Amino acid sequence: MKKLSFSALLIFSALFSSAQYSFDPKKLAQELKELSSGVMDGRRTGTEGNRKARIYIIDHLKQLGVERFVPGYEQPFSVSQAGSLAQGTGGVNILGVIPGKKQETIVISAHYDHLGSRDGKVYYGADDNASGTVALLAMAEYFKKNAPEHRIIIAFFDAEEMGLRGSRYFVGATDLEKENIVLNINMDMVARGDKNELYVCGTSYYPQLKAPVETIQKPEGMALLFGHDGTSEGSDNWTNQSDQGSFHAKKIPFLYFGVEDHPDYHRPTDTFDKVNQDFYAKSVETILLSVKALDRSLN
């Protein structure tokens, strides 16, 4: 057998290392870098930076061929919060849809807004929540290429940082019975697990969702922990701390994936360079495997 050249070995190694993922990890990292860059100016609802982020996301959905759930992908809503935004300034949810074989619908979501700029400092929000937003784009690409069992609404919510305003508007303005929404899977802060730990919250309310997630073959070195939903003594309850809370209030089952708070949470130092790209890729793969398992198992 002839020896492989060094360049051939590098190519083989690259192919082998990427084979474990359902997406391109390099593309994932590049999009996270772009969405959390200074160009987006912290993506605060109602600002030019938020508009740029919205254009970025919609352009990607168009390139992927994801259908619109609402005209132009945009679901505008009014936001009024004294001291934060001018009266009547609007937020905009971004909504796409991927047809499935079944009539029931799963909503996969992430909020794309963050805190913007304050006192001359940009709050980049790489983990919170450019990480979930880019993960959602990766899932849109996957399910566009691999038809799901259930119909999937891809929901990028706005104004989460102002009290879950975007997701609250969505569940209030959508005919939930007509759309037959049976599950929300929400991602918020999925890139900064210093202990290689990703949490999934919600199974204490909806225990039927636990078994499918437990069946997945997680990437090597990845820990997926259940909790932060009121069952673990001394731990924070995350039930209403992100957009899954809006679905839970409507009695729609949910699972929320996220990491625990870190020192850069809601600070200008939540930047791309702090992200462990290996963990981030494994985190997204773990969530995607969980979504696939749930898609197969739900009636």
CATH number of domain containing 212: 3.40.630.10
pLDDT, mean of each 10-residue run, the chain (299 residues): 41 47 97 98 97 98 98 93 52 98 96 97 98 98 98 98 97 96 98 94 96 96 92 76 97 97 96 97 98 94
58 falls within a domain: yes
Predicted pLDDT at 86 = 41
**Structural domain includes residue 3:** no
β-pairing verdict for 151-157 and 90-98: antiparallel
**Domain-located, residue 6:** no
Query: Quick check: is 15 in a domain?
Result: no
Query: How many domains, the chain?
Result: 1
Residue 81: the pLDDT is: 53
Instruction: List, in order, residues 6 or more apart from 272 with CB less than 8 Å away.
Output: 32, 33, 36, 37, 124, 126
Within a domain: residue 197?
Answer: yes
Which pLDDT score, from 0 to 100, does residue 250 have?
Answer: 97
Q: What is the DSSP string of 148-214?
A: -SSEEEEEEES-GGGTSHHHHHHHHHS-HHHHTEEEEEEE-S-S--TTSEEEEE-TTT-GGGHHHHH
Angle (CA) 219-224-226 rounded to 5° is 160
* Residue 232 confidence (pLDDT): 59
Q: Does residue 8 sit within a domain?
A: no
- Domain, as residue range, for 190: 22-297
pLDDT at 166: 97
In a domain, 124, yes or no: yes
Its pTM stands at: 0.91
**Is 55 within a domain?**
yes
